[in-house]
Amino acid sequence: MIRAATVADVPEIRSMIRELAAYERAAEQARATEEQLRTALFGEHPAARVLIAEDDDTGAIAGFALWFPRFSTWTGTRGMHLEDLYVRPHTRGAGHGRDLLAALAQICRESGFERFEWVVLDWNEPAIAFYQSLGAELLEEWRVCRLTGGPLEELAARAPVAGSRAL
């Protein structure tokens, strides 16, 4: 079963985020607290949404998908960015990942989103093969850029209008 997450799911969502980070060889980077997730997902202005996959036989949480809307200046339309898709190892192969992606595709269709995009680590061959089996195109000419820590602070210090706030 696929369902929308509730605030009661936050501890399990946090646990799965940490499991995913460990799998992606970056456990030390998964620092989000339950309170941060509660605010980000269920606060006054949610930053993202989450779907939960439950095992039909046991009712246990098998996985999750965390996503948020995005906008394309080229198409002039909204789209979906999938930040995390995770299915617990002992439940893999039962269709939970496919069902989560299908539910997200349905949200895209219902919302008029033209694009459904996410990133995958280049070494994660099982995930790449899975995504390609669903018809996903890997955009190899695009690279993810990231500023964090010192470089982010240094660039922010160069802002022409100190204290401006876009949000």
pLDDT one-digit tens code per residue, 77-104:
999 999 999 999 999 999 999 999 999 9
Q: Are 87 and 62 in contact (CB under 8 A)?
A: yes
- Helices (H), strands (E): how many in the chain? 5, 5
Per-residue pLDDT, 164: 58
The rounded distance, in Å, linking the Cα atoms of 27 and 20 is 8
34 Cβ contact list (under 8 Å, min separation 6): 10, 11, 14
Count the neighbouring beta carbons within 10 Å of the beta carbon of residue 93: 9
Read off the pTM: 0.90
The rounded distance, in Å, linking the Cα atoms of 27 and 109 is 34
- Active-site residue, from 64, 67, 116, 131: 131
Residue 131 bears catalytic tag: yes
